[in-house]
A = this chain, B = another copy of it.
Amino acid sequence: MEFSIDTKSGVPFYRQVIEQVKFAIARGVLTTGDRLPTVRQLAVDLSINPNTVIRAYRELEIEGILETQQGSGTFVGNHRPEIDELEKQRMLDQILTDLLARATAYGLSLDDVLAQLKQRKEASR
């Protein structure tokens, strides 16, 4: 997993990191259980401050996408031991509700979303 920062784009560094992590997960490059670069390592690689990396990781953690464990690192996924099927279902429901809310706010329909999603499925083969 290669990260990069465009210092001239005007997009905040931490936001660029966030987008790249999400993108990698969405495309399957990163998946549940994978370990991300350490805060320090990534900071050095990108020539930015560790706190900036932290900020990105933390925001992703709040969204439930990452999990951090001091001493061992930052990982993809939500490892709460007992996520039963019911809760999983509820979470999916929640995620979809959020999705549709955002989509409709931009004038996008459920069909638009479905079509695009199918296209991604094809592309991922």
A77 and B104 CA atoms in complex are apart in Å by: 7
**Given known contacts A104-B31, A108-B91, is B78 in contact with A96 (CB within 8 Å)?**
no
Count A interface residues, CB 8 Å.
46
Measured CA separation A111–B120 after assembly (Å): 11
A77–B105 alpha-carbon span in the complex (Å)? 4
Cα A76 to Cα B103 in complex, Å, equals 11
| Contact of A17 with B by CB under 8 A | no
Within 8 A of B (CB), among A67-125: 76-78, 83, 88, 91-93, 95-108, 110-114, 116-118, 120-121, 124
B residues within 8 A CB of A23?
Answer: 97, 101
Question: Given the complex of chains A and B, what is the CA–CA distance between A118 and B92 in angstroms?
Answer: 13
Distance in angstroms between the alpha carbons of A66 and B101 in the assembled complex? 10
Pairs A–B under 8 Å by Cβ, sample size 11: A22-B97, A23-B97, A31-B104, A65-B102, A77-B106, A78-B105, A92-B103, A95-B103, A95-B108, A110-B120, A114-B117
